[in-house]
């Protein structure tokens, strides 16, 4: 493959933002699990995932994204097969959810994280290929079918939070694909009645009649709506809010041994995963938390800037998809940690423990970096 890029267009700002967040993420994750040194197995796994992810990111940034989009159908098929593999060979969690598979050498892997990338690639290709007839009924119906298959497989795990993230990603890409506003309004009008039925069934206590909603998921929503009546299940978010507030302006310091630490008192649950922002708030304080939020905002803005400069629709949609993924997942994780959203089990990119999530985000941003290099219109691969 010929590398004839003008590296003046390489987005080193985006690389710097990623590295800063990743380094902070490893430090915070190590503090969250009270690792005594860098040789702790979980810390080592996170560091190895970071190096692997960053290396893959740089390598992918050198590959013409249009060549990758040509493989979209195979990538989609592989994504569906991975989700089917989870259903057959997957490992169950405490709630009975089957989301992981054991891979030799790599260990436990969550395929749904990589399926997010697969869907971004597939729909970027699909909408680019059908850009001249994007508003035809056939194109819309087939797009829905391609969306529904992996979403249904994810919901059956069950993994509602990941299904929501995938839906937001694809919705953002659809919006950026120049689809008619009439189609958007039509979908909204279809969703509203279902939303009203959902609210009615939930308020009536008929949770078991809501398709694909598991008992623990209904319990989380009930806890969010009435925390005072469900204190036993609200404690995770309650202690998370306490931890964030206790950090005040400057925080208690990384790896602090304060006896007044909510984290050190083992009050936090999933402090190295879903509720890692509580550790950030306690140890870095308001000042450090704002800095991290700003770094995420800069990545989101960088994706939008690259999307605006992309010469082809496929490249633009890749950037929009990654922007939606990082933006929505980051905001949702912080919203859960601060009690704005019900507990969803969504991780914080670059910070939460888990190599699958880390590497998948790096792969997506590697694609974004390559889109930034493609500034010339030319004979295309797509």
pLDDT, average across residues 240-261:
85
pLDDT, average across residues 165-174:
94
Q: In this predicted model, what pLDDT tens digit does every residue of 99-142 receive, in sequence order?
A: 778 776 566 788 899 999 999 999 999 999 998 888 899 999 99
CB atoms within 10 A of CB 22: 23
Structure tokens at 31: 């503090």
pLDDT at 376 > cutoff 60: no
Identify the pLDDT of residue 45: 87
Residue at token pair 């509720």 = 275
Decide if 3 is inside a domain: no
Decide if 1 is inside a domain: no
The Cα–Cα gap between 146 and 112 comes to: 15
DSSP string, 314-378: HHHHHHHHHHHHHHHHHHHHHHHHTTSS----PPPTTTSS-HHHHHHHHHHHHHHHHHHH--S--
The Cα–Cα gap between 306 and 321 comes to: 12
Decide if 8 is inside a domain: no
pLDDT at 375 > cutoff 60: yes
> CA geometry: angle at 294 spanning 238 and 29, to 5°?
55
Mean model confidence pLDDT for the chain: 86
Decide if 313 is inside a domain: yes
- Quote the domain boundaries for residue 157: 14-33+40-373
The Cα–Cα gap between 299 and 35 comes to: 29
**Residues in CB range of 108: below 8 A, 6 or more apart:** 91, 100, 101, 102
Decide if 78 is inside a domain: yes
Identify the pLDDT of residue 204: 72
Decide if 382 is inside a domain: no
**Residues in CB range of 15: below 8 A, 6 or more apart:** 369
Decide if 380 is inside a domain: no
CB atoms within 10 A of CB 328: 19
Give the DSSP H or E segment for 108: strand 107-109
Decide if 232 is inside a domain: yes
Residue of 269, 293, 280, 271 lying closest to 247 (CA atoms) = 280
Number of compact structural domains in the chain: 1
Q: In this predicted model, what pLDDT tens digit does every residue of 41-86 receive, in sequence order?
A: 888 889 999 999 999 999 999 999 999 999 999 999 999 999 998 8
**3-state DSSP percent of the chain in helix, strand and coil, to 5:** 70, 5, 30
Backbone angles phi, psi at 342, to 5 degrees: -70, 160
CA 198 to chain centre: 25
pLDDT, average across residues 279-303:
95
Which of 4-13, 28-37, 286-295, 331-340 has the highest mean predicted lDDT (pLDDT)? 286-295
**Does this model's pTM top 0.85?**
yes
Which of 113-127, 131-145, 193-207, 246-260 has the highest mean predicted lDDT (pLDDT)? 113-127
């Amino acid at each position: 493959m010929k590398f004839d890029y003008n590296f003046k267009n390489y987005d080193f700002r985006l690389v710097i933002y990623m590295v800063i967040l990743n380094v902070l993420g490893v430090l915070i994750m190590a503090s969250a699990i009270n690792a005594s040194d860098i040789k702790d197995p979980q810390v080592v796994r996170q560091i190895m995932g970071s190096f692997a992810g960053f290396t893959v990111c740089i390598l992918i940034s050198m590959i013409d994204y249009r060549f990758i989009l040509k493989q979209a159908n195979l990538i989609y098929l592989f994504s569906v097969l991975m989700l089917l593999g989870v259903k057959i060979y997957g490992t169950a969690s405490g709630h009975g959810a089957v989301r992981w598979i054991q891979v030799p050498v790599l260990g436990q892997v969550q395929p749904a994280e990589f399926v997010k990338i697969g869907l971004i690639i597939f729909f970027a290709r699909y909408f680019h290929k059908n850009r001249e007839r994007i508003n035809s009924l056939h194109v819309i119906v087939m797009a829905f079918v391609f969306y529904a298959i992996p979403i249904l497989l994810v919901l059956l795990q069950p993994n509602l939070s990941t299904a929501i993230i995938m839906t937001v990603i694809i919705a953002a890409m659809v919006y950026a694909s120049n689809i008619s506003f009439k189609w958007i309004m039509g979908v909204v009008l279809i969703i509203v009645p279902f939303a009203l039925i959902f609210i009615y069934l939930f308020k009536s206590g008929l949770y078991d009649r809501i398709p694909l909603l598991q008992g623990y998921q209904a319990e989380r929503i009930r806890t969010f709506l009435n925390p005072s009546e469900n204190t036993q299940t609200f404690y995770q978010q309650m202690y998370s809010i306490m931890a964030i507030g206790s950090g005040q302006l400057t925080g208690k310091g990384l790896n602090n041994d304060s006896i007044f630490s909510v984290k050190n008192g083992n009050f936090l649950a999933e402090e190295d995963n879903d509720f890692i922002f509580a550790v950030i708030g306690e140890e870095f304080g308001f000042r450090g938390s704002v800095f991290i939020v700003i770094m995420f905002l800069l990545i989101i803005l960088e994706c939008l800037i690259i999307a605006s400069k992309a010469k082809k629709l496929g490249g633009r949609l890749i950037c929009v998809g990654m922007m939606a993924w990082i933006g929505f997942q980051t905001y949702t994780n912080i919203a859960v940690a601060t009690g704005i959203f019900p507990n969803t089990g969504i991780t914080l990119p670059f910070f939460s423990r888990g190599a699958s999530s880390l590497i998948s985000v790096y792969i997506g941003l590697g694609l974004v970096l390559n889109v930034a290099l493609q500034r010339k219109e030319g004979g295309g691969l797509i």
